[in-house]
Amino acid sequence: MRELAIKVPPMLAEALGYDGAGRYVALHFDPELGLRWSDGYTGSAADEETWGIFCSWPEVADALGANPFAGERALLIDRWEHRAYLDDLLDVRLLLASQPSELDALREAEGLEPARALEELLHAREVRRRELERRLGNLTALVDAWMGEHY
């Protein structure tokens, strides 16, 4: 796994559409579905406007190269350390599968039965998703502003 010498905005994963609590989030390109994010347990379409803003900075474009997803590659974002890595999609998926799921963390922290923990998790994610949708335009603007301050 190759660490990229770029600064990653702290809100990048959320601005791309991620609504979970995982440390690691991957971005990859699926020929049929387009740009996608995944935390190893859930995944969805990524916000391409935010991705375009992030990639428009020369330092980021140089680090990613002309086609960062060529040959089944993925960009791994470390949301805690604000770092990015590029590696084969399979290796990134293996790393994502090793991080604890939100469901396991909730069950352990709250001592809930599996069905109740799942219900709580789905509710929390729906609340985060609604909030994210409400703020998505603002998050994209925040990424752009952050990039302007740091590059």
**What's the rounded mean pLDDT across residues 123-142?**
77
Tokens 């993925």 -> residue: 74
Lowest mean pLDDT among 48-57, 71-80, 121-130: 121-130
Lowest mean pLDDT among 49-53, 71-75, 123-127: 123-127
Residue 148: in which H helix or E strand, if any? helix 114-150
**What's the rounded mean pLDDT across residues 25-45?**
93
Query: For residues 101 and 107, what is the distance between their CA atoms, to the nearest angstrom?
Result: 10
Query: For residues 54 and 11, what is the distance between their CA atoms, to the nearest angstrom?
Result: 11
Per-residue pLDDT tens digits for 14-30: 999 988 888 999 999 99
pLDDT value of position 42: 86
pLDDT value of position 137: 64
State both tokens at 11.
């809100």
**What's the rounded mean pLDDT across residues 5-13?**
93
pLDDT value of position 107: 77
Per-residue pLDDT tens digits for 90-100: 999 999 998 87
Has this prediction a pTM greater than 0.75? yes
For residue 56, the SS3 value is coil
State both tokens at 99.
């991080």
